Chain A
Amino acid sequence: MRSRVRVTLGGGIAALAAIGTLLGTSLSACSGEEYLGRQDILCPDADLFKELVSPYMERRCATLDCHGAQARPLRLYTRFGQRHPAESNISGGNPTTEIELEANYAAVCGLEPEKMAEALSDLGQSAEELLLVSKPRDIVAHKGGAVILEGDSADLCIIAWIRQDPREEIERHCIPALEKVQ
């Protein structure tokens, strides 16, 4: 099942426009009219992500020295790392909350929203082009190196979710992937 997640697009253009205004220069091409606001984008199933994919990513990717660091793109929240600013939990404390799972889902879906929608429409044929897959494989340079190998359980966990495989198939990959990092 596909889900819709609401993310903010075009913020960079808006920021450029603001800088231009401050500088007193004319940036007619970046007037702010191109700011796209909050958009609904297509993304694979939210519940399956929260239940099966996020727990793996929380353990392997979301440590405080990686995607649990505020300065790092693809910010992820988890009990074991960064906690959501709207709540008052501490790292290592209460279990990952619904707000944090929603934020993780939005982060993953909003990483490359158009490409993610394309991967959905072609049933995962283009999934390997997503940064979500190519970065952890270190095909596209990844600060943390190759943390996932092509074809291993973690790789297949993420791809099965993007491919919208049946729940049992996603479980078959995600559970062993999680067990390896617990």
Chain B
Amino acid sequence: MIHWHPLRRVAAVSSGALSVGAIALTALSPGCTYDPVPQATIDRLPEEEGEPSASHRPGEPCVACHSAYEGADPPLAIGGTVYTIDANGNLAGAPGVLVLVSDAEGDSRKACTNDSGNFFVEREKWPDPFFPLQVQAGSRTMQSIVGRDGSCASCHTLPNELSLDPVTGAGRSSAGVVLVDLADLGQCQGGS
């Protein structure tokens, strides 16, 4: 049974005075875990729509929150969203796509995308993947390796103001969303 928790954000710091105070508190409080790098990623995320679930927040960097830092349950080793182009030429989540992730020591895990195109590998099922990783989604093999980030969406971003390809989101610093062919859909069942 998986329990999904909403985001538990630590207090955002907006003023210089508060920043100084936060730094001081961080130094003095061993239990405080404020880290500006993951926190900046988390703070950029849009508000939750509906209830958290395995299908929530498609296209967002899963491991930013499902991590030891943010503490969303379950902790994930790998997580992402797979898309296809629908009949209207729009992005649509791709369900039933088999995703194979292999690490540098030859270990691997399989996952299956759910109704929103999300897939994930829980941390408890892969506590320490040895980076770099190689990924195959359906019949598509990733051109590059994954250096160290378990969130596919950190690099495979949804279309935004920086995108050069408005459909896939590809740009100077994004490979665009993970796209598969329609024939890749429905090849597995049951979500991750």
On A, residues with C-beta under 8 Å from B are 59-61, 63-66, 68-70, 80-85, 88-93, 143-145, 181
B164 near A88: Cβ-Cβ < 8 Å: yes
A91 near B170: Cβ-Cβ < 8 Å: yes
Q: Which residue of chain B is the closest to A66 with respect to CB atoms?
A: B147
Alpha-carbon separation in the docked complex, A83 to B155 (Å): 13
Given A64-B154, A65-B154, A144-B131, check contact A90 B176 (CB 8 Å).
Answer: yes
Q: Which of A59, A91, A93 has the most CB of B within 10 A?
A: A91
A144 near B148: Cβ-Cβ < 8 Å: yes
Across-interface contacts of A68 in B (CB, < 8 A): 173
A64 near B148: Cβ-Cβ < 8 Å: no
Query: Does B73 interact with chain A (Cβ within 8 Å)?
Result: no
Alpha-carbon separation in the docked complex, A68 to B149 (Å): 12
Across-interface contacts of B146 in A (CB, < 8 A): 63, 65
Query: Does B165 interact with chain A (Cβ within 8 Å)?
Result: yes
B56-67 contact mask (Cβ, 8 Å, vs A): 1 or 0: 000000000000
A64 near B155: Cβ-Cβ < 8 Å: yes
- Cβ of B163 to closest chain A Cβ, rounded Å: 9
Query: Does B186 interact with chain A (Cβ within 8 Å)?
Result: no
A92 near B154: Cβ-Cβ < 8 Å: no
Alpha-carbon separation in the docked complex, A90 to B166 (Å): 12
B148 near A65: Cβ-Cβ < 8 Å: yes
Across-interface contacts of B170 in A (CB, < 8 A): 90-93
The 5 A-B residue pairs whose C-beta atoms are closest, nearest first, are A65-B149, A66-B147, A80-B144, A64-B155, A63-B147
B171 near A90: Cβ-Cβ < 8 Å: yes
Alpha-carbon separation in the docked complex, A39 to B58 (Å): 48
* Supplied contacts A63-B155, A84-B172, A91-B175, 16 more A-B pairs, CB within 8 Å: A59-B144, A61-B147, A63-B132, A64-B147, A65-B147, A65-B155, A69-B173, A80-B143, A83-B173, A88-B164, A89-B172, A90-B170, A90-B171, A91-B170, A92-B175, A93-B170
| Interface SS of A by simple majority | loop
- Cβ of B171 to closest chain A Cβ, rounded Å: 6
A91 near B172: Cβ-Cβ < 8 Å: yes
Q: Which residue of chain B is the closest to A70 with respect to CB atoms?
A: B173
A66 near B165: Cβ-Cβ < 8 Å: no
Q: Which residue of chain A is the closest to B150 with respect to CB atoms?
A: A65
Alpha-carbon separation in the docked complex, A15 to B19 (Å): 22
Across-interface contacts of A143 in B (CB, < 8 A): 148
Across-interface contacts of B155 in A (CB, < 8 A): 63-65, 91
Query: Does B174 interact with chain A (Cβ within 8 Å)?
Result: yes
Q: Which chain B residues (116-146) contact chain A, with CB distance < 8 Å?
A: 131-132, 143-146
Alpha-carbon separation in the docked complex, A93 to B144 (Å): 12
A90 near B144: Cβ-Cβ < 8 Å: no
Q: Which residue of chain B is the closest to A182 with respect to CB atoms?
A: B145
Alpha-carbon separation in the docked complex, A169 to B125 (Å): 43
- Cβ of B12 to closest chain A Cβ, rounded Å: 19
B176 near A181: Cβ-Cβ < 8 Å: no
Q: Which residue of chain B is the closest to A68 with respect to CB atoms?
A: B173
Across-interface contacts of B175 in A (CB, < 8 A): 64, 90-92
Alpha-carbon separation in the docked complex, A92 to B179 (Å): 13
